């Protein structure tokens, strides 16, 4: 809601300082901090640029964008309405502080993988990148998400990871500790993009929710759905497991906007 208020304030300042009438019909929903997914709406038929990048807009004028863990903080949205009038909305994001998480007891093959799995890991990365480029016109992402598993939050977005004493990539998901076999639910409606066993993330499910937004559900024990299948929000799609680089059973839920890794926790309604 913070962003939406900002957009309104901007139109007020245009009104008072320049005496112009800005017919603001721009709404933005989300938190202006690193890792955030912002969902917006403009008059249908408008063009929206996030910085220089033209965003995909559906017939209702809805669009999304997001900034990553370490993204720069100053951005802008340019809305060009169907009548050609243009409005620039400056967006000042807040920086975040991230924890350092020390994890011990990880199988060494997941900390320093043997040479013979290098190609497999590269293949995994390529496949995941490719499916995350999916840009469909589904609108599921504009609803509030379901938490995909019940349990204690055991890991958060952004933490710097140190495995068995060796620094590795930051953590980009929300970890929910739950027993093996506990149900994993679809956070929103969507269509399955990937369902397979990957080296680091174990049994992995990627679901397209539309507008470039996907969920990745990792370290699963079993997957109940197949690629191409449509799933409903709250439907059981998998079971919690301990596959891949883990020290115990949990679900790791990630959200991407295309290749941008975002924080699922920021989307959960308190």
Q: How far is the CB of 245 from Zn ion (least distance, A)?
A: 9
Q: Which of 61, 173, 187, 264 binds Zn ion (CB under 5 A)?
A: 173
Q: Is 252 in the site for Zn ion (CB under 5 A)?
A: yes
Tell me phi and psi for residue 121, to 5 degrees.
Answer: -65, -40
Q: Which is nearer to Zn ion, 190 or 264 (CB)?
A: 264
DSSP structural state of residue 2: H
Contact window for Zn ion (CB under 5 A) among 38-46, 221-229, 230-238, 245-253: 245-253
Q: How far is the CB of 175 from Zn ion (least distance, A)?
A: 4
Q: How far is the CB of 183 from Zn ion (least distance, A)?
A: 18
Q: Which is nearer to Zn ion, 155 or 179 (CB)?
A: 155
Task: Please check whether residue 219 is in contact with residue 139, taking contact to mean a CB–CB distance below 8 angstroms.
Answer: no
Residue 252 CA neighbour count, 13 Å, CB half: 22
Q: Which is nearer to Zn ion, 173 or 249 (CB)?
A: 173
Q: How far is the CB of 132 from Zn ion (least distance, A)?
A: 17
Neighbours of 251 (CB within 10 A): 29
Q: How far is the CB of 201 from Zn ion (least distance, A)?
A: 9
Q: Beta partners for 101? A: 161
Q: Which is nearer to Zn ion, 35 or 210 (CB)?
A: 35
Contact window for Zn ion (CB under 5 A) among 14-22, 60-68, 112-120, 148-156: 148-156
Q: Is 175 in the site for Zn ion (CB under 5 A)?
A: yes
Q: Which is nearer to Zn ion, 113 or 155 (CB)?
A: 155
Q: Which is nearer to Zn ion, 175 or 208 (CB)?
A: 175
Question: Which residue carries 């059973």 as its tokens?
Answer: 249
Please tell me the distance from the alpha carbon of residue 152 to that of residue 114, in angstroms, as a whole number: 33
Please tell me the distance from the alpha carbon of residue 122 to that of residue 127, in angstroms, as a whole number: 9
Residue 46 CA neighbour count, 13 Å, CB half: 24
User: Closest Cα partner for 36 from 238, 255, 204, 259?
Assistant: 255
Sign of CA dihedral 47, 50, 52, 58: negative
Binding site for Zn ion (CB under 5 A): 155, 173, 175, 252
């Amino acid at each position: 809601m913070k962003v939406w208020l900002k957009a309104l304030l901007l139109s007020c300042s245009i009104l008072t300082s320049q005496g112009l009438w800005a017919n603001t019909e721009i709404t933005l929903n989300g938190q202006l901090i690193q890792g955030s997914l912002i969902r917006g709406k403009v008059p249908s038929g408008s063009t929206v640029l996030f910085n220089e990048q033209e965003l995909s807009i559906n017939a209702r004028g809805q669009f999304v964008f997001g900034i990553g863990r370490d993204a720069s903080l100053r951005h802008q949205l340019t809305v060009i309405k169907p009548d050609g009038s243009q409005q620039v909305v400056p967006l000042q994001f807040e920086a975040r502080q991230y924890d350092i998480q020390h994890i011990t007891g990880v199988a060494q093959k997941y900390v320093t993988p043997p040479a013979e799995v290098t190609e497999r890991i590269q293949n995994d990365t390529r496949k995941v990148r490719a499916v995350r480029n999916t840009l469909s016109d589904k609108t599921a992402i504009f609803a509030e998400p379901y938490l995909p598993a019940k349990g204690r939050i055991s890991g958060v977005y952004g933490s710097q990871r140190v495995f068995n004493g060796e620094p590795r990539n930051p953590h980009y998901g929300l970890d929910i500790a739950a027993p093996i076999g506990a149900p994993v639910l679809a956070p929103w409606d969507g269509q399955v993009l990937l369902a397979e066993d990957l080296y680091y993330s174990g049994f992995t499910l990627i679901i397209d929710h539309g507008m470039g937004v996907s969920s990745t559900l990792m370290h699963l024990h079993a997957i109940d759905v197949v690629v191409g299948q449509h799933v409903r929000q709250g439907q059981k799609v998998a079971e919690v497991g301990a596959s891949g680089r883990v020290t115990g059973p949990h679900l790791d839920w990630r959200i991407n906007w295309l290749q941008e890794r975002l924080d699922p926790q920021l989307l959960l309604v308190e």
